[in-house]
Amino acid sequence: MLVILSAAFARADWMDHFMVREDVGIHKNPYLGDTKVVIIPVEVAGFPPLDTAALESFFGPDDPGGFVKYYETASIGRFRPRVTVVPKVTYASCPLPAMQFPMCSVARGDINAFTAGMEMMRDVVKKADAAGFDFSQHDINGRRGTADGWVDGVMLITNVPFGGIAFPFAYFNRGDNLAGGTSGPLIVDGVKIGHIAIAGENDMLVMVHEFGHTLGLTDLYDESQKYDGLYLSWMGAWLYDPNIPLPDAETRFRLRWANWNQVQGRQRVAIRPAETSGDVYRLGIGDEYYLIENRGPGTLVDKSLPERGLAIFHVDRTVKLDGMEGRFVDRILDCVNCDPWHPYIRLLQADNLFEIEQNKKFAAGDLFQPGDFLRPDTRAIALSETNRVNSTNFYSGAVSGIRVEDIRQLEDGTIEATLDAPAEGQCDERLCTEGEGCAPTTCGENTTASGCSTAGLTPLGALALLLLEQRFRRREQRFLRRA
């Protein structure tokens, strides 16, 4: 195991939350457009049989609480997986060594299952191929939106107690590749399989999370168990129940599943419900910034949320993310959200009680609603367990100048707010060169007619409002300098 872990190559990493974007195939399944994904049911005699009809339904395109509808909703239609349920691969007895796994039970994190688990994955794919399943028909997408020689996605679901895992098979494989060679990805029907998502005990909901890893996402819960980790994310503190939360704003932003609005200067904006609009407002650029979205109970996702409001996330991408291959092992041992006071993604709570950081649950009052606000802390002291101050400061304590104020909720669920960010230099960042989600949908533009807009005013009225706004800003600047 240690020898394998040390064999890192100088290329992109697995589960890096898009520190590297151009590694679809090698380390990521396609996450945009139409894809054809495979799920292989694995049934071992002596355990409760898999419900094939339930599998077909949950992974079919029409189940409102199922796999496909979830990903289509979360991506605002930009990712459209279609899943083929392969005929069952069956075993008369446990395919794992009986001496190590007498009840065919694999506990989560059991390092003893490493080699045996790889052999089982290899054998399952081999049996499915030998039974006539054509894997080549499930490569229709890739880095450029066309077939690239890698299967678009492979999942295994078993009826034995096998903990959920997404596994970079190609990175660890030093054995048979099923095509006459050794090491690297499995090769069947002329296409490659580099990573596999697995769920045990017929737990289909777990697969929704595990498949997220194959899209390039890391875990956002707290592996050290000091607290639950990130709420409002299916990669974070979700209990694998039917009330699946949307991806958090940072994850949707990185996946290009968001309508990204970059804030520049002072803006009055109308933030539509995330589950239908994909709206994300970003304040700040670079590696550390704030993201805002409108979250609330929906019909397909977020059904367990107690109320609607603004979810505000503080993001710092310098926290334990790395694009070098093999570093994902470090994140498994020391996760990106393990420090409640300085994680990769932190959900700010409007009630200022910091209960999530103290291992309490997300609850009513945590989303920002009318009357709530978020402003800089002019003392410029870093957030910590001994300095529990809700502000828009950076983790260094430096004042960002970011503000969230004047929140107003409309009858249709839209939430208006006044946002402040730096007045210039915010509009040029890109996630990629072309395509939806690569660049801001808006930057530095008011997106609602309320607040300080001059739309509909006479020229004289517009001038008067502009002068009044300028006077207010000068007074505010003088106040801030005195403070």
The reply to whether 398 and 472 lie within a common domain is no
Q: Is the dihedral of CA 277, 281, 285, 287 positive or negative?
A: negative
The reply to whether 350 and 476 lie within a common domain is no
Q: What is the DSSP letter of 432?
A: S
Of 108, 119, 114, whose CA–CA distance to 165 is shortest?
Answer: 108
Give the list of residues 6+ apart from residue 363 with CB closer than 8 angstroms, or none.
Answer: 306, 355
Paired tokens of 99: 């001496």
The reply to whether 470 and 357 lie within a common domain is no
Distances (CA, A) of 64 to 86, 233, 441: 22, 19, 29
With respect to residue 244, please indicate whether it lies within any of the assigned structural domains: no
Bridge partners, residue 187, by sequence: 192
With respect to residue 480, please indicate whether it lies within any of the assigned structural domains: yes
Instruction: Look at residues 170, 198, 214 and tell me which one is the last residue of a structural domain.
Output: 214
CA dist., res. 292 & res. 421, Å (int): 13
Paired tokens of 87: 């005929």
With respect to residue 171, please indicate whether it lies within any of the assigned structural domains: yes
Distances (CA, A) of 454 to 106, 135, 202, 375, 476: 64, 59, 58, 26, 21
Instruction: Look at residues 169, 196, 214 and tell me which one is the last residue of a structural domain.
Output: 214
With respect to residue 25, please indicate whether it lies within any of the assigned structural domains: yes
CB contact burial 315-342 (16+ within 10 A = b; e otherwise): bbbebbbeebbbbbbebeeebbbbbbbe
Give the list of residues 6+ apart from residue 386 with CB closer than 8 angstroms, or none.
Answer: none
Instruction: Look at residues 190, 214, 238 and tell me which one is the last residue of a structural domain.
Output: 214
User: Are 296 and 444 contacting, i.e. CB atoms less than 8 angstroms apart?
Assistant: no
CB contact burial 461-476 (16+ within 10 A = b; e otherwise): eeeeeeeeeeeeeeee
CA dist., res. 254 & res. 359, Å (int): 27
The reply to whether 197 and 303 lie within a common domain is no
pLDDT along the chain (483 residues), means of 10: 33 88 95 98 96 97 97 98 97 88 74 79 97 98 96 97 90 96 97 96 96 97 94 97 97 98 98 97 98 95 96 97 90 93 98 96 97 95 94 96 97 97 96 94 76 40 40 40 39
The reply to whether 301 and 439 lie within a common domain is yes
The reply to whether 400 and 431 lie within a common domain is yes
Residue 165 has φ and ψ, to the nearest 5°, of: -160, 150
The reply to whether 44 and 127 lie within a common domain is yes
Range of the domain at 313: 249-452
Please give the distance of CA 370 from its chain centroid, rounded to a whole number. 28
The reply to whether 370 and 393 lie within a common domain is yes
With respect to residue 231, please indicate whether it lies within any of the assigned structural domains: no
Q: What is the DSSP letter of 403?
A: E
The reply to whether 432 and 466 lie within a common domain is no
Q: How many domains does the chain have?
A: 3
Residue type, 478: R
Distances (CA, A) of 325 to 10, 24, 90, 111, 329: 6, 14, 35, 20, 9
The reply to whether 36 and 101 lie within a common domain is yes
Residue type, 127: K
With respect to residue 223, please indicate whether it lies within any of the assigned structural domains: no
CA dist., res. 197 & res. 37, Å (int): 11
Distances (CA, A) of 468 to 309, 446, 448, 474, 481: 30, 18, 19, 10, 20
Distances (CA, A) of 188 to 71, 118, 132, 139, 146: 27, 16, 11, 12, 19
CA dist., res. 462 & res. 456, Å (int): 9
With respect to residue 352, please indicate whether it lies within any of the assigned structural domains: yes
User: Are 164 and 113 contacting, i.e. CB atoms less than 8 angstroms apart?
Assistant: no
Burial of 401 per CB tally in 10 Å (0-12, 13-18, 19+): middle
The reply to whether 403 and 445 lie within a common domain is yes
**Residue 303 CB neighbour total at 10 angstroms:** 14
The reply to whether 288 and 395 lie within a common domain is yes
**Residue 125 CB neighbour total at 10 angstroms:** 26
With respect to residue 233, please indicate whether it lies within any of the assigned structural domains: no
Instruction: Write the secondary structure of 292-352 as one string of H (helix), E (strand) and C (coil).
Output: EEEECCCCCCCCCCCCCEEEEEEEECCCCCCCCCCCHHHHHHCCCCCCCCCCCEEECCCCC
